[in-house]
Structure 1
Amino acid sequence: MNKKSAQRMGFKTGESVVYPAHGVGMITSIEEQEVAGLTLELFVISFEQDKLTLRVPVAKVKSVGMRKLAEEDEITKALETVTGRARVKRTMWSRRAQEYEAKINSGDLNAISEVVRDLYRSDDQPEQSYSERQLFEQAMDRMSREVSAVNKLTLTEAIQLIEKNLQKSPRRNAKPDEASEEAAA
């Protein structure tokens, strides 16, 4: 491959990136493809864990929200976010589920860490519904892959690091605060 095509718009081959709808992937190459008589330059992104290869037109990178991996301070901030008190709105589950899904698919690490924090359940807490569990696992997966890539940890080590931080959070059902008592009344 010639040097000219190894980098486009600040992204280069061999670099890990975040694609909002799929999480962390690696740019394996930049290729040209003819589509409807036009020659398009495409980033070829491999998502190893999902056995998925995506071709993203270079010109669409901004509009699809593809970004570089978070900086270490952003990882630290996300890990601090999960230690906070869960903020669960008192709206219908379907509305909250849509909001959680939008946060996960935004590709924004801090938004994803909020979903991890809000949907986390420790062993001594009541079971989650199937859909809560699905959203939690999806958010945890996205967050742990990025933490793993940035901190150069295995995926298992990244998950353990996030779980360790989650366990520092104030326990949800330890003592209901006054606001939730009023809402229950």
Structure 2
Amino acid sequence: MFNVGDHVVYPYHGAGTIKDIEEKDILGEKLNYYVVFFPLNHVTLMLPENRIKSSGLRKIIQPKQIEEVVTAMQPTEYASKKEAARPYSKENETLLKSGSIIDAAMVIANLTSKEGERTNGLHMEDRKNLDRAKQFIVSELMLVKNISEEEAYQFINENSKGA
């Protein structure tokens, strides 16, 4: 399934690296746990092997897929009109929880478009979702492109209109 050293993405936490696979004896049952370190947050998570599939854990994207992320970050007229009527969208939170980098890029597109149309900026919940989406993408870009956090944020800002 996964191996030590694999770069993976865990929904809502972002990208990290499998540092170890440990066997634990819990209540007489032996289970393998994936130990995943998330460098951007400095968090380590232990995920039981029998919950990997349901957790949404996946490998990071391939470098050739970065162009899809850039395309998804581009605001559309449809997204802008759809978002304008609401103070914040549960749809954006749902997209962020999916664990998909494309979904996170769509959140950036939705919210940067909305931000450009508002004279007083985004509502607090929208700002939080925009920050989460950027952080999620940054964590993955750092591993895919082997770049720093600052370079990853710069990449997002250069490739999303109005960000």
Report the TM-score when normalising by structure 1: 0.77
Aligned residue in 2 for 1:150: 144
How many residues of Structure 1 are paired with residues of Structure 2 in the alignment?
A: 158
Aligned residue in 1 for 2:135: 141
Q: Is the 8 A contact 1:83 1:168 kept in 2?
A: no
The residue correspondences of 1:12-31 to structure 2 (distance < 5 A) are 12-31=3-22
Runs of 4+ aligned residues of structure 1 deviating over 6 Å after TM superposition are none
Larger of the two Rg values belongs to structure: 1
**How much does 1:74 deviate?**
2.1
- Post-superposition Cα deviations, 1:58-88, rounded to whole Å, max 9, x if no partner, equal 1211111100001123221011111242504
Q: 1:83 to 1:21 in 2, by over 3 A?
A: closer
- What is the distance in 2 between the residues matched to 1:47 and 1:148? 11
Question: What secondary structure does 1:50 align onto?
Answer: coil
Question: What secondary structure does 1:148 align onto?
Answer: helix
Q: Tell me which of the two structures has the higher relative contact order, counting C-alpha pairs closer than 8 angstroms and 6 or more residues apart.
A: 2
**How much does 1:125 deviate?**
5.3
- What is the distance in 1 between the residues matched to 2:55 and 2:7? 16
Paired residue for 1:110, among 102, 112, 116?
Answer: 102
- What is the distance in 2 between the residues matched to 1:85 and 1:152? 30
Amino acid at match of 2:147: L
Gaps of 5+ in 1: 1-8, 170-185
Do structure 1's residue 50 and structure 2's residue 41 form an aligned pair? Answer: yes
- What is the distance in 2 between the residues matched to 1:128 and 1:92? 11
Do structure 1's residue 69 and structure 2's residue 60 form an aligned pair? Answer: yes
**How much does 1:144 deviate?**
1.5
Report the TM-score when normalising by structure 2: 0.87
- What is the distance in 1 between the residues matched to 2:120 and 2:70? 24
The residue correspondences of 1:31-46 to structure 2 (distance < 5 A) are 31-46=22-37
Identity of aligned residues (%): 27
Question: What secondary structure does 1:12 align onto?
Answer: coil
- What is the distance in 2 between the residues matched to 1:99 and 1:76? 24
- Root-mean-square deviation over aligned CA pairs: 2.2
